[in-house]
Amino acid sequence: MLVRVWRKHVNVSAGQRPSPPAVPPQHHRRNSVSIRFAGRARTMAVATGLLAVGALVTPTAVAAEADAPKATVAQLKAVDSAVEKSDIAGTAWYTDAKSGKVVVTVDSTVSKAEIAKIKQTVKTDSALEINRTKGEFTKYIAGGEAITTGGSRCSLGFNVQDSAGTKYALTAGHCTNIGSSWSIGSTVGSSFPNNDYGLIQHSNPGAADGRVYLYNGGYQEITGAGNASVGQSVQRSGSTTGLHGGSVTGLNATVNYGGGDVVYGMIQTNVCAEPGDSGGALFSGSTALGLTSGGSGNCSSGGTTFFQPVTEALSAYGVSII
């Protein structure tokens, strides 16, 4: 099974800022979150055709609720480790301290036998919740405005600067991993897997705009960065699908994209995204929250999308929002 990296082929000259697509192309993806693609050979490949996936409106629970005392912190850590050890591709999970459960989301590629393997590895059903989502988890590759390298397109997250005033752009690490020369400048930092953030130094510092493009002719001022919270209303801007909103459904999610590409500490949301939206901005009002990593579904029928917390990226590079 291939994990498809959605790259948009475009013709953009270096330093030229591409205009948002008038009608964002529809793409489909394949990949995973907090997901282990164990036993499945998944390789990153340039893809122009996308696998159609269904809507993810409300996940269908496949693990029965059990009347039992809440698991302890130690037990939850053990369950989390056991889920990771099961190494099943197409799975994502996070710990919900309020419910006392480790919540696992499995995509359409995960079989009943693999779900049984997760349960067998965990052994404590009362501390485990498994939800099924339609579609396959995928890294999105093809702020919010388009940035390009070679024949691939991603999205700019937030423009930032260091203490000397040097201007940079934050985007996804799985984007900066594929190219050193971008339409806006050169890659100077990249962290993927484990994390999913990268840093591009602007070749034209004067073009670095501290706002996020809203794809309606308007912009959102970003005045600082913060940490997401469960239930928080958020918006995402990306060069394929423009502006979409939703809410945070989980924190500290682990995502397994296959082929050893596992990322940790992700923000889980019910916001949709598609190929080319990778690296784009997640924000709430004037507060920067995250960088688009990957997920499943599309913006016609809905989806689940994961984001790299932006505060971690800012700290790693010693930069701040412009």
Is a pLDDT exceeding 50 seen at residue 50? Answer: no
Task: Please report the DSSP string for 154-183 in residue order.
Answer: EE--EEEE-TT--EEEEE-HHHHTT-SEET
> What local confidence, expressed as pLDDT, does residue 8 receive?
44
Q: What is the pLDDT of residue 68?
A: 61
Segment 57-83 mean pLDDT: 70
For the segment 229-258, the average pLDDT, to the nearest whole number, is 96
- The better pLDDT of the pair 241, 60 is held by 241
- Segment 229-241 shows an average pLDDT of 98
DSSP letter for each residue of 122-136: H--GGGEEEEE-SS-
**Identified catalytic residue from 174, 191, 237, 296:** 174
Residue 7: pLDDT band with limits 50, 70, 90: very low
Whether the predicted pLDDT of 314 surpasses 70: yes
Q: Which residue is catalytic, options 86, 152, 190, 278?
A: 278
With pLDDT > 70 as the criterion, what percentage of the chain qualifies? 78
List, for residues 147-188, the tens digit of each pLDDT value.
999 989 999 999 999 999 999 999 999 999 999 999 999 999
Average pLDDT, whole number, for the chain?
82
Q: What pLDDT does 128 receive?
A: 94
Choose, from 87, 107, 196, 277, the residue flagged as catalytic. 196
3-state secondary structure of 103: strand
Give residue 22's pLDDT: 43
Q: Which residues, other chains included, contact 90 with Cβ-Cβ below 8 Å and sequence gap of 6+? A: 32, 35, 37, 106, 107, 108, 109, 110, 136, 137, 256
User: How high is the pLDDT of residue 32?
Assistant: 40
Tell me the C-alpha distance between 59 and 107, whole Å. 10
Confidence of residue 36 (pLDDT cuts 50, 70, 90): very low
Q: Is residue 34 scored above 80 in pLDDT?
A: no
Q: How many helices (H) and strands (E) does the chain have?
A: 4, 24
The tokens describing 160, both together, are: 């930032």
Q: What angle do CA 320, 160, 11 make, to 5 degrees?
A: 160
Mean pLDDT to the nearest integer, 288-292: 99
When comparing pLDDT for 153 and 34, which is higher? 153
The answer to whether residue 277 scores a pLDDT higher than 70 is yes
Q: Looking at the predicted structure, is the pLDDT value of residue 98 above 60?
A: yes
Q: Is the pLDDT of residue 47 over 50?
A: no
Burial (Cβ within 10 Å: 0-12, 13-18, ≥19) of residue 112: exposed
Query: CA-to-CA distance for 317 and 59, rounded, in angstroms?
Result: 36
Spatial distance between the Cα atoms of 163 and 184, rounded to a whole number of angstroms: 21
Tokens 């489909």, located at residue? 28
- How much is the pLDDT for 134? 81
261 is annotated as an active-site residue: no
| 228 vs 41, residue with greater confidence | 228
Tell me, what amino acid is at 247?
S
Query: With 50 as the cut, is the pLDDT of residue 213 above it?
Result: yes
Domains in the chain (CATH in brackets) are: 73-132 (3.30.300.50), 138-321 (2.40.10.10)
Is 233 part of the annotated catalytic residue set?
Answer: no
What's the confidence (pLDDT) of residue 23? Answer: 39
Identify residue 17 by its one-letter amino acid code: R
Residue 27 in this model has a pLDDT that exceeds 80: no
pLDDT in tens, 118-157: 999 997 788 999 999 888 888 766 599 999 999 899 999 9
Render the burial of 270-308: b for 16+ CB within 10 Å, e for the rest: bbbbbbbbbbbbbbbeebbbbbbbbbbbbbeebbbbbbb
Residue 196 is a catalytic residue: yes
